[in-house]
Amino acid sequence: MIGGGGPRAFWEREQRSALGRPVPANGAAGGPPPAQPPTARPVTAPRPVGPPPRVGGAVAALVVAVLTLAIPALGASLGLWFFLLLTNLPGIGLGVTALAKIPDTAEVERFLRYTWACNLAYVAMFVVFLVPVLVLLAVTAYYS
């Protein structure tokens, strides 16, 4: 049946048998294997195993970290200069580091997690600081 026209015959003819020798079209598995020309492949560093790094996620985290600079800028424009102390510099630095580590997938993922953690911690800290400031502004507006 190997010499027939079934799927197995096609597979055996086209791919190579399990022994590493090609099977002739007539089904006789004999004879020496044909000489293989040497392939000249350039020697390079091994390619990383696994999926490519999430560059889009790293860029998004960095953009969010840079957009958080609007909060201290708004606070400074309102005359509340202590909001400049709440700048998300760690998030920006970690986002830049994530983009700098692009060939290494594991490092990009690690710094991407750190950047998002800084961004979320920054937003939570901003809410904690914003509530007393709003209460203070409301009290001063009420008594003036």
User: Predicted confidence band at 130 (pLDDT cuts at 50, 70, 90)?
Assistant: confident
pTM exceeding 0.95:
no
Over the stretch 38-77, which tens digit does the pLDDT of each residue have? 666 666 766 666 667 788 999 999 999 999 999 889 888 9
Q: How far apart are the first and last CA of the chain?
A: 100
Provide the residue type at 108 as one letter. Answer: V
Over the stretch 19-35, which tens digit does the pLDDT of each residue have? 555 555 555 555 566 66
For 9, counting Cβ atoms within 10 Å of its Cβ (0-12 exposed, 13-18 middle, 19+ buried), the class is middle
Angle at 69 between CA 63 and CA 75, to 5 degrees: 155
Residue among 11, 35, 13 at smallest CA distance from 24: 13
